[in-house]
A = this chain, B = another copy of it.
Amino acid sequence: MSTTATPSTAASAERLDGRRLSRAERGRIANDVRLACMRISRRVRFESADAVAPHQYSVLMRIAERPHTPRELATIEKVSAPSMTRTVAALVGLGLAERADDPDDGRKVIVSATAEGRRVVHDTRRRRDEWLCRRMAGLPDADVEVLRRAGELLARMAAE
């Protein structure tokens, strides 16, 4: 959907790969984009009034997608195994997660979200999206389209 057309006149400094922005300009843009992402992220986390603590929600989101072992969760969340034992225990205590023995490997535990846990994830997601939606409400379509394309680019960059 790119609307840019490389000019055939050689007057432009633009190269074949579509580059003209200086290294310094790209650096400034990287700084602006990073700060904007971190500020949006911070405000969403601070103001969405979550039902569970951030580290618990992060795990809940994972197990709502599909069941995981505590070891997998500890690796994904970059915390120690004992910490994950504690977090899982807290979610189970809240009725948001449940533990089951792995039928194929007696050492493993399979942690999955309960219906209530999935509901919490769904509600939290909706509340967070509403926060951003309210702030997008004043924007014309052209700006929303810019955000849509940026969202795609940032998601790809974060996944690398």
Residues of A within 8 A of B (CB): 2-4, 14, 17-21, 26-27, 29-46, 78, 125, 128-129, 132-133, 135-136, 139-155, 157-160
What's the Cα separation between A141 and B29 when bound, in Å?
Answer: 11
Q: Is the CB of A39 within 8 A of B155?
A: yes
Contacts of A30 in B (CB 8 A): 129, 132-133, 136
Q: Is the CB of B29 within 8 A of A148?
A: yes
* Chain B residue, CB-CB nearest to A46: B78
The answer, among B19, B34, B40, B160, for a CB contact under 8 Å with A141, is B19
Q: Is the CB of B17 within 8 A of A154?
A: no
Q: Is the CB of B33 within 8 A of A148?
A: yes
What's the Cα separation between A135 and B27 when bound, in Å?
Answer: 11
The answer, among B26, B40, B136, B154, for a CB contact under 8 Å with A133, is B26
Q: A36-B151, A41-B42, A149-B150 are in contact. List 5 more A-B contacts (CB 8 A).
A: A3-B3, A33-B150, A34-B132, A36-B158, A42-B158
Contacts of A78 in B (CB 8 A): 46
